[in-house]
A and B are shown apart, each in its own frame.
Chain A
Amino acid sequence: MREDPESGKGIREKRRSKPSLGLTMHLLEVENLTKRFGGLTAVKNVSFNIDEGEMVGIIGPNGAGKTTLFNLISGFLEPDSGTVNFEGENITGLAPHKIVNKGIARTFQVVRPFRHLPVIANVMVALKSPRGARKIEWLKTMERKAADLLEDVGISELALEPAENVGHGTLKRLEMAKALATEPDLLMLDEPFGGLNPLETDFLTKSIMRMHLDEPSRGILIVEHKLYALMQIVQRVIVLHQGEKIAEGKPEEIAKNKMVIEVYMGKGM
């Protein structure tokens, strides 16, 4: 998309000009996904869809299978049965880096920075992947793009600091910048607020909202324990309990759902 500077053809606009998917087709379709670890069934027959531009939260108590579900979608684990379709294409069992290059980026619950590299180089690793390299716009260098991404998540003043020297809050945002570098069509955030103080949580909430407004067609999937922060931003919530989907609906509905309250608080409340 960078052939002719004179005529102006081929210069990529800010918004993606990708044709919208058909009305009947979802961005991500998860069907009857099951994963067993020995005798334990971590994820049991879970199905759900995500549409373009939708922000969906996944909640559930510890050990409900949320992170396993994430790993299944992003290819780090292979499901025992069930399929994952992304943009109408079956991506079940593909290698993780191939899935990233198809347009699903994820962050990790525990931060995974490249500790020997400066913060900006951490982002450049993601820009070096095929999809990341393709998304660098006309007349922009990789460094420029990486600096812009750091600016977006608000850590540009720490760009040249080695990643081993910066704090946990910065690393959480760095994870986000790394995931955004490939300009994914579906962004999966695994506990983005974990270990952050209320101020940082507030900042991150705002930047997720801004991200959502900047790129309206991008789907976002969030796993989170801090229900208050989550319920404010998502449009739909999926509740997992012991590997099974027990409820799905708008945040207000879920907050009143008897079964969900039972799961979280115990019976007799």
Chain B
Amino acid sequence: MVKSYLRRAYSSFAAHVFDIPPRLMAFLFFLILLIIPLAGLDPYYLSIMIYANVLAIFAASWDLLVGRTGQISLGHAIFFGIGGYSTALLFKFFGLPTWVTIPIALLVGCSAAVLIGFPCLRVKGPYLALVTMAFPIILHSIVKWSPLNHIFGGEFGIRGLPAFFAFLPIRQQRIAEYYLTMIFLFVVSVIIYKVANSKTGIVFVSILDDEVASKACGINLTKYKLMSFVISGLFGTLAGCLQAHLLKVSNPPMFELTWSFAPIIVTFLGGIGTIYGPLVGAYIYYILDKYFLTIQLPKLCEYFGAALPREFEYAKLLIFTLIVLILVIKWPRGIARFTTDKLEDLEEARDLDERGPRIWKRYKRKEKK
């Protein structure tokens, strides 16, 4: 009795409060993100959000390539590293300002995407994944190679890059950087979303679904795969540039496997193939990682009188892999899409409510079970 009342109360609440079209929801999401710095957060928390924004850009670009075009890439870190290193090298050797180096770095990223794409996209499926995985490993060893230390700076990378807003005091700098990455995230996600849902995006999905059939439709697969690779690489490079200037350093870890797997984890968290999924996933990932695992967990351990082992840092990837495994089994379509599906269900239920007798609804519920 009480349970049914509660359920009815919840469903009427849900139907009235969540009665928001998706476009408005996306707008609200960005609005909330815009207000966050005004709440007077600690700079540390703000920097979590900043890096979450960068990862969101990076993961959204991966999602276009893999979730929409079906070209599985396990080496997206290559664009991240190329972005970071090319802006750093341009600064180091030519002393160019940030707003000149980033566009040039984007061009470098695009041409790298074409160069890598041509040989890579000849192979399919798991073979493509393996081939793409090799490229960041090659570049990783090149930038670490000691005879080239005077160019790439070896293990330590290229340090002392200019910050975006060096003229501001440190606290305002964080807020300004937050807004900057926010704007980039907004623009990039809108562009990627528009591309993914354009007529070209339809062709991308057709390649994901059936390559033979899209050939039979007269589609030049190489052209469209390359297009997807270049767009994806462009925004991946942008994320790398931003990261380099935020951390003020470009170092070999940018080419590491962690940066290839981060977008995968984030995209699966949010929902692959949605483009908005990775955005949600990136925030969840960073808040889990940098807040709960870095701040709260040690505190908890201290409370119980135990210390976290130093190796815990390396176990994080394992933890996230486990989370992703559980998610893939439980919610294969990701958190963001799970939510939108729920909203659609509510809408449908309301439609039935308006159009038909209650018995329909009861019948429908039975059918679902």
A and B: interacting chains: yes
Residues of A at the B interface (CB closer than 8 Å) are 74, 76, 95-97, 100-101, 105-106, 108, 112-117, 121-122, 124-126, 128-132, 142, 178-179, 181-182
CB-CB under 8 A from B215, the residues of chain A are 76, 95-97, 100
CB-CB under 8 A from A116, the residues of chain B are 205, 208-209, 273
Please report the C-alpha to C-alpha distance between residue A76 and residue B221 in the assembled complex, in whole angstroms: 14
Instruction: Verify if B173 is at the interface (C-beta below 8 Å from A).
Output: no
Please report the C-alpha to C-alpha distance between residue A115 and residue B217 in the assembled complex, in whole angstroms: 15
Please report the C-alpha to C-alpha distance between residue A129 and residue B217 in the assembled complex, in whole angstroms: 7
Instruction: Verify if B212 is at the interface (C-beta below 8 Å from A).
Output: yes
Residue of A129, A130, A142 most packed against chain B (CB within 10 A): A129
Are A112 and B210 neighbours in the complex by a CB distance under 8 Å?
A: yes
Please report the C-alpha to C-alpha distance between residue A132 and residue B206 in the assembled complex, in whole angstroms: 16
Given contacts A108-B213, A114-B213, A128-B199, contact A97 B219 (CB under 8 A): yes
* Pick from A100, A115, A124, A142: contact of B216, CB under 8 Å: A100
Given contacts A97-B220, A129-B217, contact A115 B212 (CB under 8 A): no
Closest chain B residue to A101 by CB distance? B218
CB-CB under 8 A from B200, the residues of chain A are 128
Please report the C-alpha to C-alpha distance between residue A132 and residue B216 in the assembled complex, in whole angstroms: 12
CB-CB under 8 A from B208, the residues of chain A are 116
Please report the C-alpha to C-alpha distance between residue A112 and residue B210 in the assembled complex, in whole angstroms: 7
Given contacts A117-B206, A128-B199, A142-B199, contact A112 B213 (CB under 8 A): yes
Please report the C-alpha to C-alpha distance between residue A128 and residue B201 in the assembled complex, in whole angstroms: 11
Please report the C-alpha to C-alpha distance between residue A102 and residue B214 in the assembled complex, in whole angstroms: 16
Contacts beyond the supplied A121-B202, A125-B203, A128-B200: 13 A-B pairs with Cβ under 8 Å: A76-B212, A76-B215, A96-B216, A97-B217, A113-B210, A115-B210, A116-B205, A116-B208, A117-B202, A121-B205, A125-B206, A132-B217, A181-B217
Are A108 and B202 neighbours in the complex by a CB distance under 8 Å?
A: no
CB-CB under 8 A from B213, the residues of chain A are 108, 112-114, 178
Are B216 and A74 neighbours in the complex by a CB distance under 8 Å?
A: yes
CB-CB under 8 A from B209, the residues of chain A are 113-117
When A and B form their complex, what is the total count of cross-chain residue pairs whose Cβ atoms lie within 8 Å? 82
CB-CB under 8 A from B202, the residues of chain A are 117, 121, 124-125, 128
Which B200-245 residues have a C-beta within 8 angstroms of A?
200, 202-203, 205-206, 208-210, 212-221
Interface size class of chain B, counting residues whose CB lies under 8 Å from the partner chain: 20 to 34
Are A128 and B216 neighbours in the complex by a CB distance under 8 Å?
A: no
* Pick from A117, A124, A132: contact of B218, CB under 8 Å: A132
Please report the C-alpha to C-alpha distance between residue A162 and residue B7 in the assembled complex, in whole angstroms: 32
Are B217 and A178 neighbours in the complex by a CB distance under 8 Å?
A: yes
Q: How far is the CB of A123 from chain B (nearest CB, A)?
A: 9
Q: How far is the CB of B66 from chain A (nearest CB, A)?
A: 14
Which B88-134 residues have a C-beta within 8 angstroms of A?
none
Are B212 and A128 neighbours in the complex by a CB distance under 8 Å?
A: no
CB-CB under 8 A from B205, the residues of chain A are 114, 116-117, 121
Are A125 and B216 neighbours in the complex by a CB distance under 8 Å?
A: no
Residue of A96, A108, A125, A142 most packed against chain B (CB within 10 A): A125
Are B210 and A128 neighbours in the complex by a CB distance under 8 Å?
A: no
Residue of B199, B210, B218, B219 most packed against chain A (CB within 10 A): B218
Residue of A96, A101, A142, A181 most packed against chain B (CB within 10 A): A96
Please report the C-alpha to C-alpha distance between residue A112 and residue B209 in the assembled complex, in whole angstroms: 9
CB-CB under 8 A from A74, the residues of chain B are 216
Q: Show 23 A/B contacts (Cβ-Cβ < 8 Å), sorted by A.
A: A74-B216, A95-B215, A97-B218, A100-B216, A108-B213, A113-B210, A114-B205, A114-B213, A114-B214, A117-B209, A122-B206, A125-B217, A126-B218, A128-B200, A128-B219, A129-B217, A129-B220, A131-B218, A132-B218, A178-B213, A178-B216, A178-B217, A182-B218
Please report the C-alpha to C-alpha distance between residue A130 and residue B220 in the assembled complex, in whole angstroms: 9
Are B206 and A108 neighbours in the complex by a CB distance under 8 Å?
A: no
* Pick from A112, A117, A124: contact of B212, CB under 8 Å: A112
Which B31-74 residues have a C-beta within 8 angstroms of A?
none
Closest chain B residue to A74 by CB distance? B216
Closest chain A residue to B209 by CB distance? A114
Please report the C-alpha to C-alpha distance between residue A124 and residue B216 in the assembled complex, in whole angstroms: 13
Are A129 and B219 neighbours in the complex by a CB distance under 8 Å?
A: yes
Closest chain A residue to B220 by CB distance? A97
Closest chain A residue to B224 by CB distance? A128
Please report the C-alpha to C-alpha distance between residue A121 and residue B199 in the assembled complex, in whole angstroms: 9
Please report the C-alpha to C-alpha distance between residue A163 and residue B268 in the assembled complex, in whole angstroms: 24
CB-CB under 8 A from B273, the residues of chain A are 116
Are B216 and A108 neighbours in the complex by a CB distance under 8 Å?
A: yes
CB-CB under 8 A from B203, the residues of chain A are 125, 128
CB-CB under 8 A from A124, the residues of chain B are 199, 202
Are A126 and B217 neighbours in the complex by a CB distance under 8 Å?
A: yes
Q: How far is the CB of B243 from chain A (nearest CB, A)?
A: 32
Q: How far is the CB of A144 from chain B (nearest CB, A)?
A: 13
Q: How far is the CB of A27 from chain B (nearest CB, A)?
A: 19
Q: How far is the CB of B145 from chain A (nearest CB, A)?
A: 40
Closest chain B residue to A178 by CB distance? B217
CB-CB under 8 A from A121, the residues of chain B are 202, 205
Are A106 and B206 neighbours in the complex by a CB distance under 8 Å?
A: no
Q: How far is the CB of B105 from chain A (nearest CB, A)?
A: 32
CB-CB under 8 A from A130, the residues of chain B are 218
Please report the C-alpha to C-alpha distance between residue A116 and residue B197 in the assembled complex, in whole angstroms: 13
Closest chain B residue to A130 by CB distance? B218
Closest chain B residue to A181 by CB distance? B217
